[in-house]
Amino acid sequence: MDSNIDNFQWSQFPQNSILKNNYTGWLQFAQTPTYTIQQDLKAAGITLESYIPHKTYAFTASQEVNPLVLKQKGVITILPYDNRMKLSHDLKNETIGEWALRGDKVLIQIQYFKNITLDEISVLLKNDDLEILEIFTTGHVAMLAIDIDRIDEIASRNYVQYMDVITPPSIKEDTDGRGLHRSNSLDTQQVGGRNYTGAGIGVLVRDDGIVGPHIDFEGRIDNSQASGTGQTHGDGVAGILAGAGNLNPENRGMAAGSDVYISNYASSFLDLSTTSLINNGSVQITNSSYGNGCNAGYTITANTVDSQINNTPSLLHVFSAGNSNGSDCGYGAGGQWGNITGGHKQGKNVIATANVNDDGSLAGSSSNGPATDGRIKPDITAHGQGHISTDEDNGYLSFGGTSGAAPGIAGVAAQLYDAYQTIANGILPESALIKAIMLNTANDVGNTGPDFQYGWGIVNGLRAVKTIENRNFFSRTVSQGTSQNRIIPVPQNTSQVRIMLYWNDPAAATGASTALVNDLDLIVNDPAGTIYNPWVLNSNPNAVTLNAPATTGVDRLNNMEQVVIDNPIAGDYTVDITGFNIPMGIQKFYVVYEIIEDQLTITYPNGGESLTPNSTEFIQWDATNTSGNLTLEYSIDNGISWNSITTVNNTALLYEWTVPNDISGQCIVRISDSNGNTDSSDNPFSIAQRVTGLSITQVCPTYINVSWNALPGATSYDIYTLGQQFMEVNGSSSTLSYSIPITNISDAQWIAISANGGNGWTSLRTNAIEYDGGGLINCSLSNDLTVSSILNTAADFQTICNPGPIIISANIENLGSQDQSNFLISYQINNDAIVQETYNGTLNAGASILYNFNSPATVTNNGAGTLRVWVSLNNDEQLVNDEKVFDYFATATSESLDIAEPFDVNGVLPTGWILDNPDNTITWTEELNIIGSNGNPTTAAFVDGANYNSRGQSDSFTTNYYDLNFNGTATLTFDLAKAQWSTTYNDGLRVELSTDCGSTFNQIYFKDGLTLATVPYINSTWTPTTAADWRQESIDLSAYIGNDIVLRFVNLNDYSNSTFIDNIALNSTLSNEENTLANLVQMYPNPTSTIVSIQIDSSINDTIDIQIMNSLGQIIDEINQAVDANTTIIDVNNYQSGLYFVNIAAGNLQTTKKLIIK
């Protein structure tokens, strides 16, 4: 940019660079402003929104700011936004993928400025006649469909900060991780060992729908945010991340105690499921094993995920790197480089995971870096290929790819969160610390140092947790031009020291060519004065240099820097951290360090494991600066004698071992190098066969009997049952059977067994078998009656539609071995009197009967109810199956006219009215204190159409039943206040009526557009402010006289504007006789809260019958008044507030009055 500050005036700015009385554009400084200058600018009304390279910022500035202030603070150039700079690479070059095209429209996403509210952006977009697909307020992102020829026009709008096509379609990235990741060392499942299971840590699997059911997630899974079954990708991901191995202990995942939340994958990362779980603290770690595009650059989504982590420092996003190796995604070095899949993976503060096989070799499909701007990607590596993981319905499946690697990293991270939280008395760690520790302690594989295939290496949970336990980390802050230093003592005989600087970097400007914002430098000085610089990679688009080993130097791309020193001299090392270029605020950073003294460390098997003879296991170890070949041995007598396994190269970190058929509980393995360095298992492990033949032999009301085959050498057996979350020891047996106590025979049970014997060996627990709660097995009871089912349906209790007695009907079955007669069968409706009858016949053993009660049930009130049916038998040996329950909703009576529902008393919606909200978003709600049709505040039913962007959705409410069985006419009226947005957006309203209890509905009213509107087009969210904004609608219902009716009001959404309904009323014009009584009755005061007087004209000579009903049609009070009393006073002190109907009858005359109790 050329300097223009000397002659600059704000008058040079175009109108489309002025937003809400603020200028927007770019500022370039001669030097990166210090933190003090940044604060001075903020105080002067200048906000530095985001940073791009070359000391340039996106800004907003008050119109009161004098350009001289900017010059004094070091600004050399001020420019308005260039519309082309707002466009992504694809939009600039018109390389728009088919996924983003819909006819002649392109589907785009825009970032709008942070000072614009939801209402304001909705108005701005609608006024531009744009089709709004979705608006995300948390990320200030809107999804739109626009005409292709309007791209430049919309980019010129002052509210648009950046514009891109929508994210490419989401692709699932499919193709003995615990040991390879050293996760087993964090979760030993042994007394006295580390038991970091991720307990108390929330992990979110963002995938393809509901996970399970599976007992490996027992008591720990929440599927409430997910929808859809039949897809298994999410099941596989969840099992690797957090499966407990309850069904099969060999399939235990990483964080087996974590709280597992499930949601559907949304590429924006701004979906309500994700943001709400993050914001309310339920979730600390998310996993997304999906790809969206390839090497997409620093996109809107990358900006989103980085911002989310900065806003919630304990949050960690973990992603798969992709399975697209071989795809040329435009980096410039062919198909082997630069093919990370998706913009979200380009984030700086997130983790993108590469994929290796169980032997640590890189999977050929695993996507390679670098990121678009040359940064190190992937970040780290985990085992993803060839997993056995959870499937739906308590099954397992083969699962793999980077989809399987990412949950391995997320699971180890959850274990490390658990470890930190345990040590820090419940305080959660910042994700920056956990990520830094995982990167710094990873096993360095591939080229020395970081590379663009493995990132920083294969995760090593054991070395990571030791860093936490030893507290080998510290945190400080730096600002522009400042520095910090710290002394780290290194002891004698240290094999290697690793020091890493890491910081969560501010989100870069979307589309920035270089994503790094704040640039910190790490330098380490040893006691002799030698200076060590961090690793750097050559990211030039050349296949040869991209595959070259790292060198050391100055890093200007990454937000992590690592110094590694082999065989360091002992003494104090000075770690210097400098804020080289800190354009955005004060930067917090972490330094983590690892001092490796042991050159060889066995990590698996390391004590407490139960291995099976002739199975294949990977012996695994850590090695640093070893020499010569490595020798592997095993002992079955705790090291008294040794047996040779093999010799391997000193670069190896694992060996595939066929477990010998040597049964023992005193097994250990040992590794040695040619210099005498050696290590062995910390504690003995077992080699033993698994128990076979476990089966359920008998199920009775209070116990389950199981048996199994004898295992040679076993002295006892432990029987496991599924507890609240995990398989737990229920008891032990020295025989080949066991009786498991139960309290309810209908509850499912999962059962497994392990054997103990010899010199302390324990076999691996068997796979769990299920008792499904189906009832007795091989258990003969003499006396056992059951109600197997209630045969009544919900329709039986719709007595307004099905008049007549309700015959209660049930199936009764004799499960015992004895015939039964003269036993009691009973039912009860709610808390009404129990109906009890005696069955006088004989019900033979094994037979069943359909029993219809002789005493029918009656339902007189509307509302929810419960029907219980049970049998009673002396000496019944299984009481749990004696009763069945059926819940229903009764509609017994219809309400007499006249009816008025002003919503002020009963609210929206009144009791008994039914809301239908198919998409579970915006719908009919209660709006308080708006100006009503009489000019006074009122309560109304409301649909927020201005913010309801799901066009084509219908939301309805259905009323109670109303009685039109009289001589005369009837009219439905309601007050309506409605605005439409424009000719493009037009909501509709339909009113329907049913005379057959809701089986079918007839349309009695429909309007839309300006015909429906009560005011002209309004281009902002609207609320009525005067009585003139309302109109009363009237519908003649005379054609339906002689019926009970139900009404349904249907809002037809087109993303237009607000709809209000109030004062729904049904009024009758009575026949001459009925009108006569109405004119002769007065009721006062009304409304009232104490008493009400009903005065009858003296010309009435008949006895007066008065019924008072609530809004559900339930009779509250009945009064029979003698003819000589002209005034009846009724005490209503004990009535609840609400609307009541007073039905007054005298001879053949009848009328109904409305009574409101305050």
| Run of H or E including 413 | helix 402-423
State both tokens at 820.
């039964």
CA distances from 584 to 27, 30, 53, 516 (A): 14, 16, 12, 11
pLDDT digits (tens, 9 = 90+) for 767-786: 999 999 988 999 999 999 99
Q: What percent of the chain is predicted at pLDDT more than 70?
A: 98
pLDDT digits (tens, 9 = 90+) for 788-824: 999 999 889 888 877 778 999 999 999 999 999 999 9
pLDDT digits (tens, 9 = 90+) for 644-667: 999 999 889 999 999 999 999 999
Q: Is residue 1025 predicted with pLDDT exceeding 90? A: no
pLDDT digits (tens, 9 = 90+) for 566-612: 999 999 999 999 999 999 999 999 999 999 987 899 999 999 999 99
User: Is residue 479 annotated as part of the catalytic site, yes or no?
Assistant: no
pLDDT digits (tens, 9 = 90+) for 104-115: 889 999 999 989
Structure confidence at residue 569 (pLDDT): 96
**Among 86-95, 519-528, 1032-1041, 1146-1155, which stretch is predicted with the lowest mean pLDDT?**
1146-1155
CA nearest to 437, candidates 472, 487, 475 = 472
Structure confidence at residue 464 (pLDDT): 96
CA distances from 902 to 123, 1001, 1064, 1153 (A): 31, 24, 6, 15
Phi and psi for 777 in degrees, rounded to 5? -130, 120
Distance, CA of 81 to CA of 70 (rounded, Å): 18
Phi and psi for 304 in degrees, rounded to 5? -65, -50
pLDDT digits (tens, 9 = 90+) for 939-964: 999 999 988 988 999 999 999 889 89
Q: Is residue 787 predicted with pLDDT exceeding 60? A: yes
State both tokens at 781.
């009871």
The catalytically annotated residue of 403, 431, 672, 956 is 403
Distance, CA of 399 to CA of 388 (rounded, Å): 6
- Residue with more model confidence, 184 or 200: 200
Q: Please, what is the end-to-end C-alpha distance for the chain in angstroms?
A: 72
CA distances from 488 to 469, 526, 578, 593, 597 (A): 16, 10, 17, 9, 15
pLDDT digits (tens, 9 = 90+) for 125-174: 989 999 888 888 888 999 999 999 999 999 999 999 999 998 887 766 55
- Residue with more model confidence, 1022 or 434: 434
Say whether the peptide bond before residue 378 is cis (omega within 30 degrees of 0): yes
| Run of H or E including 929 | strand 925-931
- Using 50, 70 and 90 to split pLDDT, how confident is the model at 1071? low
Q: Is residue 882 predicted with pLDDT exceeding 80? A: yes
CA distances from 13 to 10, 51, 78, 79, 115 (A): 6, 21, 9, 8, 19
DSSP 257-286: TSEEEEEE--TTS-SHHHHHHHHTTS-SEE
Long-range Cβ pairs for the range 650-654 (8 Å, 24+) = 650/623, 650/626, 652/623, 653/360, 653/443, 653/445, 653/620, 653/621, 653/622, 653/623, 654/179, 654/180, 654/359, 654/360, 654/618, 654/619, 654/620, 654/621
User: Which domains are seen in the chain, by residue range?
Assistant: 5-81 (3.30.70), 89-165 (3.30.70.80), 171-596 (3.40.50.200), 600-687 (2.70.50.50), 695-771 (2.60.40.10), 787-872 (2.60.40.10), 895-1070 (2.60.120.200), 1072-1157 (2.60.40.10)
Say whether the peptide bond before residue 79 is cis (omega within 30 degrees of 0): no
Treating both helix axes as pointing N-terminal to C-terminal, what angle do 431-441 and 461-469 enclose, rounded to 10 degrees? 120
Quick one: average pLDDT of 396-417?
A: 92
Q: Is residue 1075 predicted with pLDDT exceeding 60? A: no
Structure confidence at residue 736 (pLDDT): 97
Q: Is residue 477 predicted with pLDDT exceeding 80? A: yes
Distance, CA of 606 to CA of 70 (rounded, Å): 64
Structure confidence at residue 175 (pLDDT): 45
Structure confidence at residue 1070 (pLDDT): 60
Q: Is residue 1142 predicted with pLDDT exceeding 60? A: yes
Q: Is residue 181 predicted with pLDDT exceeding 90? A: no
- Using 50, 70 and 90 to split pLDDT, how confident is the model at 1121? confident
Q: What percent of the chain is predicted at pLDDT more than 90?
A: 70
**Among 333-337, 887-891, 1027-1031, which stretch is predicted with the lowest mean pLDDT?**
887-891
- Using 50, 70 and 90 to split pLDDT, how confident is the model at 85? confident
Structure confidence at residue 172 (pLDDT): 64
The catalytically annotated residue of 233, 317, 344, 383 is 233
User: Is residue 233 annotated as part of the catalytic site, yes or no?
Assistant: yes
Structure confidence at residue 315 (pLDDT): 98
The catalytically annotated residue of 164, 187, 207, 679 is 207
Q: Across the chain, what does the average pLDDT equal?
A: 91
CB 533 within 8 A of CB 554: yes
CA nearest to 979, candidates 1029, 929, 1026, 936 = 1029
- Using 50, 70 and 90 to split pLDDT, how confident is the model at 47? very high
- Using 50, 70 and 90 to split pLDDT, how confident is the model at 176? low
pLDDT digits (tens, 9 = 90+) for 664-706: 999 999 999 988 899 999 999 999 999 999 999 999 999 999 9
- Using 50, 70 and 90 to split pLDDT, how confident is the model at 1111? low
pLDDT digits (tens, 9 = 90+) for 895-930: 888 888 999 888 898 877 889 999 988 999 999 888
- Using 50, 70 and 90 to split pLDDT, how confident is the model at 988? very high
